Structure 1
Amino acid sequence: MQLTLEEIIELTGGKIVNEGRADSFSGLASLKEAGVDDVSFLGNEKYYADYLATAAGLVLVPTIVERFPKGSVAIEVENPSYAFGLIVKKLASKQRVFKPGVHPAAWVANDVVFNADKVSIKAGAVVESGSRIGDGTEINSNVSLGEGVIIGENCVLHSNVVVREFCELGDRVILQPSCVIGSDGYGYELVDGRHTKVDQVGIVVLEDDVEIGSSTTIDRARFGKTTIGEGTKIDNQVQVAHNVIIGKHCLVVAQTGLAGSCELGDYVTIAAQAGVAGHIKVGDQAVLLGRTGAAKNLEGGKMYMGMPARPLKEEQKKLASLARLPKLLKDFKDLKKSLSEAD
């Protein structure tokens, strides 16, 4: 599969600022590894030396760049990383072949509602009774859909995904391999010295354009719904507990944990290995940096850091003070010694 130079210009809205030796491209690569058939991009000044030495056939560059690699077509765009993503998507759509139909090695209950001419269900998939699958959706190998699951249009469920009973997915949802939607929430009561399981009878709702990463688990609500808002993207190995509500267009990065009944507003970003305690709220457009622990409600529109979470500047001042502590202790000991000698 190839894209011509004209197609790339039309797709990205960029303009040629340096002529090159190629006029069609079939690959995507980093600046270091790219060859004459590949498209690459300069998205970070740290890679400027690699950019100048690249053998890429085409490079997407920001407007501030004035030097160009020899032999490479350079296309100026406002956001090279985003423009590169558009090219990736275009090439992927050309390479992906959607083959509707049900593989003979799949098992689909007789009452499942779907159009076999517009849905792809691959080998080893299991679709239980009462489920509904929208047109254009692809169910890959060994996916398990429980009873009464609702899947919207143009979704992609990759291999070994589990969606348990009665959970609901909107349109254009992507589930990466081995994620689990609708596992039981972690709920127990101590009765007569034994941990007794609390039934989890709610569901999970993933709204339109949500993407869930590999090996991420989203627990069903104890009652009601665990909800992931429209456009939210959740990374690999994230734990979302029962009755959590995540707003629209949030970013939740790898190994984050969201405890039961916490609530994130819209456009919240939570970096890697952060944690949010149960029953608290994080406001719209808040940013929690890596390994931040939110133990109380956090106001929106601010950046937070540390355990417990504090506004970024406040936490930075604390860390700067701690860094000075060894010198302060030394100065104190020297002062104490000099006073002792003066006596």
Structure 2
Amino acid sequence: MRRRNVKVTLGEIAKLVNGKVVGDENIAISGISDIEDAKPSDIVVAFDERHADIAFSSNAGAVLVPPGLERGEKPCITCEQPKLAMIIIAEMFAEERFSPSGISELAVIHPTAKVAQDASVGPFSFIGEMSEVGSRTIVYPFVYIGASVKVGCDCTIYPGVVIYDGVCIGDRVVIHANAVIGKDGFGFVWDGKMHRRIPQIGTVLIEDDVEVGANTCVDRATLGVTRIRKGTKIDNLVQIAHNCDVGDSCILCGMSGLAGSVKLGKNVMVGAQAGVRDHVSVGDGATIAGRAAVTKDVTGGEVVSGYPARPHKEALRIEAFIHQLPNLYERVKRLEETVRELKKVNSDS
């Protein structure tokens, strides 16, 4: 994303982020950057002492830090919530991405579909019969939206997204490139001769303010609804199977997966490459560490890790024991040798 051509003083930035300037508040800032690539016109953000040391010795013109990490080498802003401040500053300098404007003549829109007058649909996109696209929603090129789909207002649907028939999407939803929403759930029954496919006649409901990463799949329900509740953020390459119910404001990191009928409470964190088996419930505020394999219910607020997943402290103890196995093996070998020698001595006496 390109930078917007904006210049502001350090003092003006401090007011925006509710921070305090230490040093010259009149220096001009025209961008925000990572520490390594910073220029004298940039501000950088450091969240801890180690990065603050690097930031204050960088080429940046100013530094934003938590209180107590300010230095005398450069002007800086101290702020109680530096991560939120970084978002505000980045939004100020970021130039909006290119997006389609209006409805392209090369888009294919069924006569019964309803597309808001101020929505945008890019070339080579398809919108099926009886589908609806809400106000100010942007549909990029090469998007497929099936029949009887409802897409709310202020959504962004990036290129290559496929939304199957009957899916319902709320307002301010972002779906990144090549995600697939509403494909058939993975359900088969062995009838003695072959795997019989179970008809997947449910749907998918994605509520307001959800973000779905690139190449992520959300399967439709066998019966009923696969539901992604409001405010949840899903990374790239995530699999959400049929009939899952993902609670408000959850985070699902890349390459994680939920098997069928998993229920996540509110504010659940699922780490990268973690998996949750079918019909498991995870309570509000629980954390599933990366690569964990969850095979049973997790209580609210609990942190689990490992394979199979167990309370994190217990998993750490087991991991520590595993690292001791080579030494333990050598000790046991020596003990066995000693026992054999003692037995030999006893048998000879």
Same fold by TM-score, threshold 0.5 exceeded? yes
Aligned-residue offset at 1:44: 4.0
Counterparts of 1:157 and 1:7, CA distance in 2:
34
- Assess, with a 3 A threshold, how the Cα gap between structure 1 residues 59 and 260 changes in structure 2: closer, same or farther: same
* SS of 2:285 mapped into structure 1: coil
- Give 2:82's aligned residue: 80
Deviation at 1:78, TM superposition (A): 1.4
Give the letter for the 1:58 counterpart. Answer: A
Q: Distance in 2 between matches of 1:17 and 1:161?
A: 47
Q: Which amino acid aligns with 1:210?
A: V
Q: Check whether the contact 2:99–2:140 (CA below 8 A) recurs between aligned residues.
A: no
The amino acid across from 1:301 in the alignment is G
State the AA in 2 paired with 1:324. Q
CA distance in 1, matches of 2:128, 2:294: 39
1:104 counterpart letter in structure 2: E
- Is 2:338 the partner of 1:338? yes
State yes or no: 1:60 paired with 2:64.
yes
Which residue does the alignment assign to 1:18? 23
Shift of 1:284: 0.8
> Secondary structure of the residue that 2:205 maps to in structure 1?
strand
Shift of residue 97 of structure 1? 6.4
Following TM superposition, by how much is the alpha carbon of 1:179 offset from its aligned partner in structure 2, in angstroms?
A: 0.6
Q: How does 1:1-343 map to 2 (within 5 A)?
A: 1=4, 2-5=6-9, 6-19=11-24, 22-25=27-30, 27-70=31-74, 73-92=75-94, 95-96=96-97, 100-116=101-117, 118-342=118-342, 343=345
Structure 2 unmatched ranges of 5 or more: none
* Residues 257 and 274 in structure 1, CA contact (< 8 A), matched pair in contact too: yes
- Alpha-carbon distance in 2 for matches of 1:322, 1:185: 38
> Matches of 2:219 and 2:7 in 1, distance apart?
42
Percent identity between the aligned chains?
34
- Give the Å deviation of 1:231: 0.5
8 Å CA contact retained: 1:42, 1:81: no
Change (3 A) 1:7 1:109: farther
For residues 269-298 of structure 1, give each alpha carbon's deviation from its aligned partner in whole angstroms, at most 9, with x where no partner exists: 010000000011111111011100001111
Q: TM-score of the superposition, structure 2-length normalised?
A: 0.91
C-alpha distance in structure 2 between counterparts of 1:192 and 1:330, whole Å: 51
Alignment gaps of 5+ in structure 1: none
Cα shift at 1:18: 2.8
Larger Rg: 2
Distance 2:99 2:334 in 1: 75
What secondary structure does 1:101 align onto? coil
8 Å CA contact 1:158, 1:177 repeated in 2? yes
- Aligned-pair distance for 1:48? 3.5
Residue 248 of structure 2 aligns to a residue in which SS? coil
From the superposition, tell whether residues 341 and 188 of structure 1 become closer, same or farther in structure 2 (CA, over 3 Å): closer
Secondary structure at the aligned position of 2:338 is classed as helix
How far does the alpha carbon of each residue in 1:171-223 deviate from its partner, in whole angstroms, 9 at most, with x for none?
A: 11011111111111111122341222221111111111100000001001111
Partner Cα distance (1:95, 1:279) in 2:
42
User: What is the alpha-carbon root mean square deviation over aligned residues?
Assistant: 1.9
How many residues are aligned here?
Answer: 338
Is the deviation greater in 58-67 or in 272-281? 58-67
Relative to structure 1, is the Cα distance of residues 32 and 245 closer, same or farther in structure 2, using a 3 angstrom cutoff? same
Check the 8 A contact 1:135/1:152 in 2, yes or no.
Answer: yes
Q: Distance in 2 between matches of 1:109 and 1:258?
A: 34
Shift of 1:317: 1.1
Q: CA deviation at 1:49?
A: 3.9
- Cα distance change on mapping 1:23 and 1:99 into 2, 3 Å: same
TM-score, structure 1 normalization: 0.92
Note the C-alpha offset of 1:20. Answer: 6.7
